[in-house]
Amino acid sequence: MEIVKKLGTKFNEIVIRTSVLEEMKGNYTAERLLRTWEEDFVDEDTGNVVTIQRNEILFDRGVLMDNDVLSQINFYLQSGDIKDVLASNQKRTGIAVKNSASVYCVTILQGTKKRNYYLYANSVDLALNIITDFLEQKIEGSFSFTSVKEMGFSNLIPLEDDDLDKDFYKIEVEIAYEEDDPFKQVYILQANDAEEAKEIIIKFISLKMKEEKREKPFETTIVSARTVPCNNIIDYQFAKEYFDND
């Protein structure tokens, strides 16, 4: 019967950077281990000698440093191709990566009311950072998060006026530029009805084309329209600084 090893948490993980083999033994590589060296070659155009740095992966993250692995590490320590190793008492092989930009819906609880906010982000963490920054300036009192959901990509049109009586719509439109094949896009925005939403979308597309200096005639046709539970849309310009510094 296979014994399932109990997982630890980050709170009891011990990570050290060391060149001492005894300190590595029985632990795991905490990051990908690379050997690095330099090579010289002659530039055929100039005749100058150019030095380039080479890298080779020796071990991936989460490799147990047993006697065989330590023997190889020792060889590269002696050769100078590696200087030390980042070692952990926990085997961690999973690597969290960020997705491409998408639309997220963050639901908060303020008092007894739940509110939904739509915004661009590339991860749950980034979505929470952006919405926290926004809400700390936008509302009064305390709030808590109840859910974060990736909604797939669509175009968010920021509010022109914060009108509580207007619904939020998710509109799929077919766009046909002159002499180009038609294509479909989805927009989320606030409007009185689907027809007003269409007019706002046309205005949004026209402004974007003007900014990009590629103005040309186009037609739009509503493919589908439905209301969505939303209380506010965070402007991309607000979120952009987070993308730029992420």
| pLDDT tens digits, 153-211 | 899 998 876 666 789 999 999 999 887 889 999 999 999 999 999 999 999 999 888 88
Whether residues 118 and 217 fall in one domain: yes
Mean pLDDT of the chain: 91
Residues 186 and 238 in one domain: yes
Q: Which of 41-50, 97-106, 215-224, 237-246 has the lowest mean pLDDT?
A: 41-50
State whether 118 and 239 are in the same domain: yes
20 and 132 part of one domain: no
CB 197 within 8 A of CB 171: yes
Give the list of residues 6+ apart from residue 54 with CB closer than 8 angstroms, or none. 36, 37, 38, 39
In a domain, 127, yes or no: yes
Tokens matching residue 176: 């046909």
Label residue 42 by pLDDT band (50, 70, 90).
confident
Is 182 part of a structural domain of the chain? yes
Q: Tell whether 1 is covered by a domain.
A: no
Q: Is the pLDDT of residue 217 over 70?
A: yes
Give yes or no: residues 21 and 114 share one domain.
Answer: no
Shared domain check, 140 and 56: no
What is the spatial distance between Cα 129 and Cα 220, in angstroms, rounded to a whole number?
35
Q: Same domain for 113 and 223? A: yes
pLDDT of 107 over the 80 cut:
yes
**Residues 70 and 128 placed together within one structural domain of the fold:** no
pLDDT band at 70 (very low <50, low <70, confident <90, very high): very high
Q: How many domains does the chain have?
A: 2
Percentage, residues of the chain above pLDDT 90:
72
Residue whose structure tokens are 């969505």: 228
Same domain, 114 and 72: no
- Tell me which residue range forms the domain holding 143: 102-244
Judge if 72 and 188 occupy the same domain. no
The answer to the question of residue 94 being in a domain is no
Q: Which of 38, 65, 88 is the last residue of a domain?
A: 88
pLDDT value at residue 4? 59
The answer to whether residue 3 sits within a structural domain is no
CA proximity to 62, closest of 28, 36, 95, 94 = 28
User: Interhelix angle for 236-244 vs 124-138, to 10°?
Assistant: 130
The set of residues, in sequence order, having a beta carbon less than 8 Å from that of 175 and lying 6+ positions away, is 182, 183, 184, 185, 205, 218, 219, 220
Is there a domain that residue 57 lies in?
yes
| Of the residues 88, 114, 129, the one at which a domain ends | 88
pTM: 0.75
Residue 96 lies in a domain: no
Q: Please, are residues 142 and 182 in contact by the beta-carbon 8 Å criterion? A: no
Q: Is the pLDDT of residue 147 over 70?
A: yes
Lowest mean pLDDT among 120-124, 127-131, 146-150, 204-208: 204-208
* pLDDT (0 to 100) of residue 31: 95
Reported confidence tier of residue 136, pLDDT bands at 50, 70, 90: very high
> Within this chain, do residues 124 and 84 fall inside the same structural domain, yes or no?
no
* Mean pLDDT across 31-46: 86
Domain end marker among 43, 58, 88: 88
| Listed range (4-8, 67-71, 127-131) with the worst mean pLDDT | 4-8
Residue 4 within a domain: no
